[in-house]
Amino acid sequence: MTGSSRRYRMKTRVVAESHAGTDWEPDVVPPLHMTSTFRFRDSDHGADIFAGRRDGYVYTRIGNPTLDRLHAKLADLEGAEDAASTASGMAAVASVALTLARPGDNLVACSTLYGGTYALFHHHLRQFDIEARFIAPREAGDADRLKALVDDRTRFLYMETPANPTLDIVDISLWASVAEKRDIPLVVDNTFSTPCLQLPLAQGARLAVHSATKYLGGHADLIGGIVAGEKNLIDRIRTETLHHFGPVLSPFNAWLILRGVKTLDVRMQRHCENAATLAVRLEGHPKVKRVYYPGLPAHPGHAVASRQMRGYGGMLAFELKGGTAAGKASMDAVQLCTLAVSLGECATLIQHPASMTHSTYSPAERRAAGIADGLVRLSVGIEDVEDIWEDLDRALAAVP
């Protein structure tokens, strides 16, 4: 289900990326600069760095060599001019919004989003008098409907693709053309795909954001975020928001992400293969009503996903014929899969969006975003796929 020659190029790039953006470094593993502050040689040296007359580190909220290694690596992987890191994926999303929009401005987003992002946009940006306008995923491919939501106070367009939790696919180049005509940035949350499977900037987006907590870290042992894109925008995010609001990443978490990214490509290959196998088997299961996976030809976004992605990812969702009760029963019956939120870790995680990650939506808002109450979301891990299937098959057999 993946274009092997294009993937091979990416793989080479990921393996080679440990040198990205840096001169030759003697260390094989990046050093961990676990320090909050940096020593100056004398008072003029410190004053010169503060005044920008010479380069140097002063304080880890402003800059740190381990963080810089991570930024260079992620910028290279996303094909970006620059990248910044944040304390969480939400800090990345919030920093983008608070940098680009001012009181009286608005943003336009596809309504299927991670529940935390939806809550930030829909509820919390209001206190800054920033309005979020949403377009339903079934209308997101209609450029005229999208254009109708954009006005002179729209400061950016925002999407997740594939979207959490329904795996809806939004056409990046279509939205990028609408954004470009208005001279505003398109921001794409690339968490589900990672740069191994999708390069939003190459398709017209100007910023890509990540919850690095997920696939980039890959081992469910850290919280972090990334913003990659045009240098002038990243500079603004740093100086207008990160330096003063302060949601920066710990160097230790940056070091863990750097380690995680070394295996990103092989992990993503296995996530994709396992998810594709499970999607097909679930689709054929008599208790399953519908499977949401962009790699399935029946998925409404399959054609666009095939154009803009190199693989369909490791996330899938399904609804059972018995609705919410059956879905919950299946989650309670699994043994190998872990009942937990989050995603992108090595082990398979299962959860119920309506009562967990997407409980920030009202029932009506969930319906408008196409998030069925009975939906079960699976972050397919890199275990032996037969072990995962055996567990799911047994759990489905236990559903009344």
Ligand X SMILES: Cc1ncc(COP(=O)(O)O)c(C=O)c1O
Return the active site residues.
Answer: 61, 114, 189, 214
Q: How far is the CB of 322 from ligand X (least distance, A)?
A: 27
Which CB sits closer to ligand X, 57 or 192? 192
Kindly state the number of chain residues that form the binding site for ligand X, as judged by CB under 6 A. 15
CB-nearer residue toward ligand X: 49 or 94: 94
For ligand X, which residue of 7, 67, 114, 233 counts as binding (CB under 6 A)?
Answer: 114
Per CB under 6 A, 78 contacts ligand X: no
State the nearest-atom distance from the C-beta of 342 to ligand X, in Å.
6
Radius of gyration of the chain (CA): 21
Per CB under 6 A, contacts with ligand X among 147-206 are: 160, 164, 189, 191
Q: What is the dihedral of CA 328, 334, 336, 340, to 10 degrees?
A: 20
Burial of 329 (0-12, 13-18, 19+ CB in 10 A): middle
How far, in Å, CA of 319 to CA of 322, rounded? 8
* Residue least distant from ligand X (Cβ): 89
Q: How many CB atoms lie within 10 A of CB 295?
A: 21
Of 71 and 399, which has the nearer Cβ to ligand X? 71
Question: Which residue in the set 223, 227, 234, 256 belongs to the binding site for ligand X (CB under 6 A)?
Answer: 223
DSSP assigned state of 241: I
Q: How far is the CB of 113 from ligand X (least distance, A)?
A: 7
Residue 39 CB burial class (10 angstroms; 0-12, 13-18, ≥19): exposed
Does 116 sit near ligand X (CB under 6 A)? yes
Nearer to ligand X by C-beta: 330 or 357?
357
Contact 187, 181 (CB under 8 A): no
Residue from 30, 89, 137, 204 touching ligand X (CB under 6 A): that is 89
For residues 325 to 344, the per-residue mask of contacts with ligand X, x marking binding by CB under 6 A and - elsewhere, is -----------------x--
Half-sphere exposure of 20 (CA within 13 A, CB side): 26
**Structure tokens, 79:** 């094909």
Q: Is 225 in the site for ligand X (CB under 6 A)?
A: yes
Q: At residue 333, what is the residue type?
A: A
Q: Which two tokens stand for residue 315?
A: 């996330």
Could you tell me if 279 and 56 are in contact, meaning their C-beta atoms sit under 8 angstroms apart?
Answer: no
String marking each residue 265-294 x if it binds ligand X according to CB under 6 A: ------------------------------
Helix (H, G, I), strand (E, B) or coil at 377: strand
Among 205, 207, 258, smallest CA distance to 237 is for 207
- Single residue of 90, 172, 278, 371 touching ligand X by CB under 6 A: 90
250 part of the interface to ligand X, by CB under 6 A:
no
- 345 near ligand X, rule: CB under 6 A: no
Least distance between ligand X and beta carbon 26 (Å) = 33
Task: Identify residues 357-376 at the interface with ligand X (CB under 6 A).
Answer: none
Residue from 66, 211, 348, 351 touching ligand X (CB under 6 A): that is 211
**CA geometry: angle 158, 163, 166, nearest 5 deg:** 145
**Residue 250 per-residue DSSP state:** P
Q: Does 85 bind ligand X (CB under 6 A)?
A: no
The Cα–Cα gap between 133 and 130 comes to: 10
Please select the residue that binds ligand X; options are 85, 99, 198, 213, rule is CB under 6 A: 213
Residue 90 CB, shortest distance to ligand X, in Å, is 4
Say if residues 312 and 276 touch (Cβ distance below 8 Å): yes
Which range, of 72-80, 112-120, 170-178, 368-376, touches ligand X by CB under 6 A? Answer: 112-120
Helix (H) or strand (E) holding 92: helix 89-100
List contacts with ligand X (CB under 6 A).
Answer: 88-90, 114, 116-117, 160, 164, 189, 191, 211, 213, 223, 225, 342
